[in-house]
Structure 1
């Protein structure tokens, strides 16, 4: 039997992108920092997002059935920390500039990319919910900012610390 701490230690060595996942509905805007996000298929465009069921905003994501995945750049470490903190939902959204795409879920204006999604399925696995999300809109950061200089670096998490990696090359 593998102990949970051994598994977490091993997973800390899996480099992951850092994302802010958001939703909105009658109870307001909510969001959290997530590294457990990945593509499922491109036909139809689908993402998988994992969320701890004990998160205070979990019920809002289930109820709203929409979310956006905002892929963070190197300059977003403070926003990542805010959305991973004990701050209220309102306080979290004071960090960054937010707008919306098709579903109305908040999207971070200068994210590397925004994926606007409808939650099609929810599967409970252990302590987490796995959201299977159909992507209904995508916006690249350079489309919003007008900058195409290839200087953006991605914010990643590795060995329990933030790192910056790569450059986005616009061809």
Structure 2
């Protein structure tokens, strides 16, 4: 059996895009920072998002059946930290400029790219829920540099190569 600490240390070496995942309902806006996001298929356009079931906003994502994936640009590490902090849900949305697309889930205006999604399936694996999400709208920004998390630190990608 693989030791949990060994697994976490190994996974810290798997570079991942930094995303803020959001939803909304009558109780307000909710969101969290995630690196566990990936494409599933382009026909129909589908993503998967992993979320810890112990997260305080987990129930809102289950009930709402909508979410947005906001892929952070290289200058948005502060947004990632806010959405992984102990701040109350509504306080988190005081940072950044937010809008909506088709589902009503909050979209971060200057994210590298945002995917507006409907949650079509939820699978439980261990401590996490896997949301299978059909993309209904996409918003691109003018930014061309992304934020990634590698070896427990933020890094920028997309820097032009120097000749």
Is TM more than 0.5 here?
yes
Distance in 2 separating the partners of 1:100 and 1:61: 16
Distance in 2 separating the partners of 1:154 and 1:118: 24
Task: Identify the residue that residue 155 of structure 1 maps to in structure 2.
Answer: 147
Which 4+ runs in 1 deviate beyond 3 A? none
Distance in 1 separating the partners of 2:148 and 2:154: 6
Structure 1 counterpart SS, 2:2: coil
Distance in 2 separating the partners of 1:3 and 1:45: 36
Question: Aligned residues, how many?
Answer: 160
Matched, 1:96 2:88: no
Task: Identify the residue that residue 39 of structure 1 maps to in structure 2.
Answer: 39
Structure 2 counterpart SS, 1:5: helix
Task: Identify the residue that residue 148 of structure 1 maps to in structure 2.
Answer: none
| Unmatched 5+ stretches in structure 2 | none
**Structure 1 segment 14-25 matched on structure 2, within 5 A:** 14-25=14-25
Distance in 2 separating the partners of 1:64 and 1:6: 35
Quote the offset at 1:90 in angstroms: 1.0
Distance in 1 separating the partners of 2:159 and 2:65: 33
Distance in 2 separating the partners of 1:79 and 1:124: 28
| RMSD (Å) for aligned C-alpha atoms | 1.0
TM-score (normalised: structure 2): 0.96
| Unmatched 5+ stretches in structure 1 | 143-150
Distance in 2 separating the partners of 1:6 and 1:72: 28
**Structure 1 segment 79-118 matched on structure 2, within 5 A:** 79-118=79-118
Structure 2 counterpart SS, 1:75: coil
